[in-house]
């Protein structure tokens, strides 16, 4: 019997950091040292702490080795010998205290989290159903089928207070109940795994790390609403998730959890995977449904029947997100009351965020609802690195709002975020620091969303482009002061007038940055300055004469010959010629640091 288990994350992120090669090397070393009988190497999903990937964990000790390389494999293998010692140099070092932390349970990134949906990610082998069964997998399904009526299941989901974790936050139990109530013997359960936000990866992580939890949730949902067929609409860009989910479905079928007669109960349910067409808007329920049917994914305008009434192929359809389904087993196993005891009054359970941007600990986190933004960013995330100052955080994906420091006390829940001008959305969380220009940030996100507009509604298609054009003009120094009000007018019209969530939220980054950082817009327009020194049209590169050593490097490298000077003659940038390409800054030796960016285009030449 193995006495030790080496857990090695094999998510897409881990693999891109070299986890595959490490695994091969480790196994080879273990075999070479004849440890195969006592040490088991287990592939798991990602543990979420992307910053320190690839991670190797040794259980039962709970040792965590961070940023492991292939070359470390022999040493790790040797440490597993009876006389072996932990490898201190691979311990995670707290970026704040710089203290080495041997055990994963002591790492703040983990111990401030509350992992429910992600609990198994990083612990079980997602391609082994027995691993899932060993941690209580499919117990909820057994319980539901043997002890509960569909109504009781729905009642439990309702009591739990679980809300849709795809971003909308619609109470899951009510949705299930609505779908159950619609008459019809042909209904569908659809799992939305079309994670279109390029900055979010929680759905992918769950499917890669714990696919059975989603499968189990879907089967229970099928039983509850009276459906016999489920579809998982997953991004084609997630091949590993598709593969693991496919294995999970096949295994579940083999073990009788799926099929015509689930667990001999007479209830029939099966799941099919559908790979999406890669459109952001297909995450919207009606667009997703159309896409599943083989049509162009375009959201259907309100008023229209709900998907629970007229969904896939016109049949009643329950559509929930990956994370919503993954929560179900916990509600059944631990009880609705247990679930409801977590989180806030109106938002129960946990929330998952992909924490990225100017943040020390970037990665995937699961936190109880109600935790504040500050706790996430500074406690779990470790704050802004490099001694920079926190400026804002954007939540909810490309169309989320941007919240300033003053709102860091905002608790994480559906309603508070919306009230503050942002949203839960896709669960993206991007931290920006003082070097980020808010106008440019708004422009960046809007550029993404306007390209993803399905084009059917005039306000979203044309309005967002119009706003983008105005933002472009502002960042290029061609803004007019009345543009700010025009942006607000357009943004509000697009928000109220667009068909779907994409259009309705696309103006959020613009409106929220105007709301909280209006002075930056005004600087761009009135002073022709980009205070964060980002917008090319509104900055200047200068050479600080005190620091310039007249080394000629920048002078030679400047592609437009804008730098004057000579040997032993301090260099000066001719601002009329300068194209602000930034070459001078990048070539100026770090020890000199003579090139600087300053806001604005009216440069006084010093000395």
Partner 1 sequence: MDKVVLKLDDLEVMANKEDTILQAALDHGIYIPHLCYHPDLKPFGGCRLCVVEIEGRGLTISCKAPVEEGIAVRTEGPEIDKMRRVAAELLIVNHYSECLQCARNTDCKLQDIAAYIGIEEGRLQRLKRTARDLPLDDSNPFFIRDPNKCVLCGICVRTCEEINGVGAIDFAFRGLDTRISTLKDKPIVESRCESCGECVVRCPVGALVPQNMRKPEREVKSICPYCGTGCGIYLGIRGDKIVSARGDRDSVVNKGQLCVKGRFSYDFVNHPDRLTTPLIKRNGVFVEATWDEALDLVTAKFKEAQEKYGPEALAGLSSARVTNEENYLFQKLLRSLGTNSIDCCARL
Considering the complex, state which of residue 300 and residue 533 has its C-beta at the smaller distance from partner 1: 300
Considering the complex, state which of residue 62 and residue 305 has its C-beta at the smaller distance from partner 1: 305
Indicate the length of the chain as a whole number.
607
The distance between the two most distant Cα atoms of the chain, rounded to a whole number of Å, is: 89
Considering the complex, state which of residue 342 and residue 466 has its C-beta at the smaller distance from partner 1: 466
Nearest Cα to Cα of residue 573 among 552, 606, 599, 543: 543
Considering the complex, state which of residue 303 and residue 607 has its C-beta at the smaller distance from partner 1: 303
Q: Closest distance between partner 1 and the C-beta of residue 86, in Å?
A: 52
Letter string b/e over residues 490-511, b meaning 16 or more CB atoms within 10 A of that residue's CB: bbeebbeebbbbbbbbbbbbbb
Letter string b/e over residues 378-401, b meaning 16 or more CB atoms within 10 A of that residue's CB: bbbbbbbbeeeebbbbbbbbbbbb
Q: Please give the Cα distance from 92 to 107 (Å, whole number).
A: 8
Q: Please give the Cα distance from 78 to 275 (Å, whole number).
A: 43
Q: Closest distance between partner 1 and the C-beta of residue 204, in Å?
A: 22
Considering the complex, state which of residue 154 and residue 298 has its C-beta at the smaller distance from partner 1: 298
Q: Closest distance between partner 1 and the C-beta of residue 600, in Å?
A: 25
Region class of 473: left (phi > 0), else alpha (psi between -120 and 50), else beta: alpha
Say if residues 588 and 595 touch (Cβ distance below 8 Å): yes
Torsion 24-26-32-37 (CA) sign: negative
Q: Please give the Cα distance from 80 to 339 (Å, whole number).
A: 39
For 189, list phi and psi in degrees, rounded to 5: -115, 125
Q: Closest distance between partner 1 and the C-beta of residue 301, in Å?
A: 3
Cα angle for residues 404, 406, 409 (degrees, 5° grid): 105
Q: Closest distance between partner 1 and the C-beta of residue 460, in Å?
A: 9
Q: Closest distance between partner 1 and the C-beta of residue 519, in Å?
A: 22
Considering the complex, state which of residue 321 and residue 464 has its C-beta at the smaller distance from partner 1: 464
Considering the complex, state which of residue 493 and residue 579 has its C-beta at the smaller distance from partner 1: 493
Q: Closest distance between partner 1 and the C-beta of residue 203, in Å?
A: 22
Q: Please give the Cα distance from 125 to 401 (Å, whole number).
A: 37
Considering the complex, state which of residue 465 and residue 570 has its C-beta at the smaller distance from partner 1: 465
Which single residue is written with the structure tokens 């440890």?
A: 35
Considering the complex, state which of residue 2 and residue 301 has its C-beta at the smaller distance from partner 1: 301
Residue 567 CB-density burial (10 A; 0-12 exposed, 13-18 middle, 19+ buried): exposed
Torsion 11-14-16-21 (CA) sign: negative
Q: Please give the Cα distance from 144 to 410 (Å, whole number).
A: 37
Q: Count CB neighbours of 327 within 10 A.
A: 26
Helix (H, G, I), strand (E, B) or coil at 520: helix
Cα angle for residues 395, 400, 403 (degrees, 5° grid): 60
Q: Closest distance between partner 1 and the C-beta of residue 347, in Å?
A: 25
Q: Closest distance between partner 1 and the C-beta of residue 439, in Å?
A: 16
Considering the complex, state which of residue 81 and residue 486 has its C-beta at the smaller distance from partner 1: 486
Q: What single DSSP character describes residue 290?
A: H
Q: Please give the Cα distance from 187 to 92 (Å, whole number).
A: 49
Q: Closest distance between partner 1 and the C-beta of residue 286, in Å?
A: 11
Q: Count CB neighbours of 24 within 10 A.
A: 13
Considering the complex, state which of residue 1 and residue 302 has its C-beta at the smaller distance from partner 1: 302
Considering the complex, state which of residue 392 and residue 494 has its C-beta at the smaller distance from partner 1: 494
Q: Closest distance between partner 1 and the C-beta of residue 38, in Å?
A: 56
HEC secondary structure over 363-385: EEEEEECCCEHHHHHHHHCCCCC
Helix (H, G, I), strand (E, B) or coil at 176: helix
Letter string b/e over residues 103-121, b meaning 16 or more CB atoms within 10 A of that residue's CB: bbeebbbbebbbbbbbbbb
- DSSP secondary structure of 4-59: EEEEEE-SHHHHHTTHHHHHHHHHHHHHHTT-TTTEEEEEE---S-GGG-S-EEEE
Considering the complex, state which of residue 280 and residue 516 has its C-beta at the smaller distance from partner 1: 280
Considering the complex, state which of residue 59 and residue 447 has its C-beta at the smaller distance from partner 1: 447
Nearest Cα to Cα of residue 197 among 575, 509, 573, 513: 509
Considering the complex, state which of residue 42 and residue 235 has its C-beta at the smaller distance from partner 1: 235
Q: Closest distance between partner 1 and the C-beta of residue 505, in Å?
A: 16
Q: Closest distance between partner 1 and the C-beta of residue 307, in Å?
A: 16
Q: Which residues bind partner 1 (CB under 8 A)?
A: 279, 281, 296, 298, 300-304, 450-459, 461-466, 469-470, 473, 482-483, 486, 489-490, 492-494, 496-499
């Amino acid at each position: 019997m193995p006495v030790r288990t080496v857990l090695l994350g094999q998510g897409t992120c881990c693999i891109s950091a070299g986890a595959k090669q490490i695994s091969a090397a480790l196994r080879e070393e273990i075999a070479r040292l004849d440890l195969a009988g006592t040490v088991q190497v287990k592939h798991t999903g990602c543990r979420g702490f992307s910053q320190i990937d690839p991670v190797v964990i040794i259980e039962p000790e709970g040792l965590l080795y961070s940023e492991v390389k292939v070359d470390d494999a022999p040493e790790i293998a040797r440490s597993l010998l009876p006389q072996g010692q932990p490898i201190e140099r691979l311990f995670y070092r707290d970026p704040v205290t710089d203290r080495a932390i041997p055990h994963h349970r002591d790492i703040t990134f983990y111990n401030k989290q509350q992992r429910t949906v992600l609990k198994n990610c990083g612990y079980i082998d997602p391609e082994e159903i027995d691993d899932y069964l060993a941690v209580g997998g499919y117990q909820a399904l057994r319980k539901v089928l043997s002890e509960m009526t569909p109504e009781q299941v729905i009642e439990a989901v309702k009591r739990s207070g679980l809300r849709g974790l795809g971003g909308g936050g619609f109470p899951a139990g009510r949705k299930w109940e609505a779908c159950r109530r619609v008459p019809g013997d042909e209904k569908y359960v659809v799992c939305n795994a079309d994670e279109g936000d390029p900055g979010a990866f929680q759905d992918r992580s769950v499917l890669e790390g714990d696919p059975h939890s989603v499968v189990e949730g879907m089967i229970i949902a099928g039983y509850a609403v009276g459906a016999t067929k489920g579809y998982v609409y997953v991004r084609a860009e997630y091949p590993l998730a598709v593969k693991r989910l496919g294995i999970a479905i096949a295994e579940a079928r083999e073990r009788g959890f799926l099929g015509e007669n689930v667990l001999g109960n007479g209830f029939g349910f099966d799941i099919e995977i559908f790979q999406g067409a890669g459109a952001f808007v297909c995450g919207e329920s009606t667009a997703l449904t159309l896409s599943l049917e083989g049509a162009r994914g375009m959201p259907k305008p309100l008023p229209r029947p709900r998907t629970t009434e007229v969904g896939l192929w016109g049949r009643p359809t329950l559509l929930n997100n990956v994370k919503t389904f993954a929560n179900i087993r916990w509600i059944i196993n631990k009880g609705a009351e247990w679930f409801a005891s977590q989180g806030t009054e109106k938002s129960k359970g946990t929330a998952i965020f992909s924490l990225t941007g100017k943040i020390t600990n970037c990665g995937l986190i699961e936190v109880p609802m109600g935790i504040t933004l500050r706790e996430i960013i500074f406690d779990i995330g470790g704050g802004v690195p490099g001694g920079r100052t926190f400026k804002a955080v954007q939540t909810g994906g490309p169309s989320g709002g941007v919240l300033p420091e003053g709102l860091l006390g905002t608790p994480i829940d559906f309603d508070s975020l919306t009230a503050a001008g942002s949203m839960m959305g896709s669960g993206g969380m991007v931290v920006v620091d003082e070097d980020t220009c808010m106008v440019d940030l708004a422009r960046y996100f809007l550029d993404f969303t306007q390209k993803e507009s399905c084009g059917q509604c005039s306000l979203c298609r044309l309005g967002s482009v119009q706003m983008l054009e105005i933002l472009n003009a502002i960042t290029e120094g061609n803004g007019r002061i009345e543009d700010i009000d025009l942006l607000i007018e357009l943004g509000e019209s697009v928000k109220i007038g667009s068909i779907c969530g994409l259009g309705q939220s696309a103006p959020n980054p613009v409106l929220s940055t105007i709301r909280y950082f209006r002075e930056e817009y005004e600087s761009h327009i009135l002073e022709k300055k980009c205070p964060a020194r980002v917008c090319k049209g509104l900055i200047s590169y200068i050479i600080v004469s005190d620091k310039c050593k007249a080394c000629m490097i920048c002078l030679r490298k400047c592609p437009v010959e804008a730098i004057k000077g000579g040997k032993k003659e301090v260099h000066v940038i001719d601002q009329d010629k300068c194209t602000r390409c930034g070459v001078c800054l990048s070539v100026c030796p770090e020890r000199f640091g003579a090139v600087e960016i300053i806001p604005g285009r009216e440069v006084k030449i010093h000395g």
